[in-house]
A = this chain, B = another copy of it.
């Protein structure tokens, strides 16, 4: 009785959230063929998946789950619903509320050395439009296709993070953007993409130049942060959608995780 109640509410949740996600996503891409949960077995399986995939997503966000290469096949529909159905936006909003609450509580020195470090991809700029064509992370990472996408320079701002960015600047913090994107091939488009989307007034944009090619994200980003600290900056906060943005040396006084269940950068 209890098990069937659980299956029922999870099934209703998944079906309605999926319907909603299709309504919300209709402007972006033609909807994929609808799922066919026409039998009790399929319903029970979907219900089981909804619970499993929520647990999986929390494991990703807490960094319990590491080194995964694709979203589990049974969770692709769930992640689509999550990303397009409103909960992802709500989660980003809540993360930003935590950041603003913390940043507002600090005294910003008048020496101009209080700094924040923000990641770019899926922190400032959204790649959701790209990942819609890659099963929301259900398909393996395709470096060539991703580079083509990034070269177009049309990644939209994540609106809540743009608001945060402007608040940090208004409060007198220096903002540094730090991305693993390749400087040589993506430097110009990334710079213009950021400006077009309103990310104006940051102190510097650090990209991966030849020196750092082939280095992991933790090593590369640690080196840059150490450089900032050596210059005298106090990194008061560090914001990224990957744990590799937030680990290593000189991570900052506080780290904040922006949700991203679509890919894992080691």
Q: Which residue numbers of A lie inside 8 Å of B, CB to CB?
A: 1-2, 5-6, 8-9, 12-13, 16-17, 19-20, 23-24, 51-52, 54-56, 58-59, 61-66, 85-87, 90-91, 93-95, 98-99, 102, 254-257, 259
Contacts and interface: CB of A to CB of B under 8 A. Distances in A.
9 contacts: A2-B20, A52-B90, A54-B90, A54-B91, A56-B94, A58-B94, A59-B91, A61-B62, A63-B255
B95 A64 contact: yes
Contacts of A91: 54-55, 58-59
B16 A1 contact: no
B9 A59 contact: no
A198 B227 CA distance: 50
Given A59-B95, A95-B64, A98-B65, A20 B13 contact: no
Contacts of A65: 94, 98
Contacts of A102: 66
Contact of A9 (B12, B61, B255): B12
B98 A51 contact: no
Nearest to A20: B5
Given A2-B23, A2-B24, A58-B94, A17 B9 contact: yes
Contacts of A99: 64
Contacts of A23: 1-2, 5
A99 B6 CA distance: 27
Contacts of A24: 2
A91 to B, nearest CB: 5
A51 B5 contact: no
Between A13, A17, A23, A24, the greatest number of chain B beta carbons within 10 A of the residue's beta carbon is seen for A13
B95 A257 contact: no
Contact of A62 (B6, B90, B257): B257
A262 to B, nearest CB: 15
Given A59-B94, A59-B95, A87 B5 contact: no
Contacts of A61: 58, 61-62
A55 B93 contact: yes
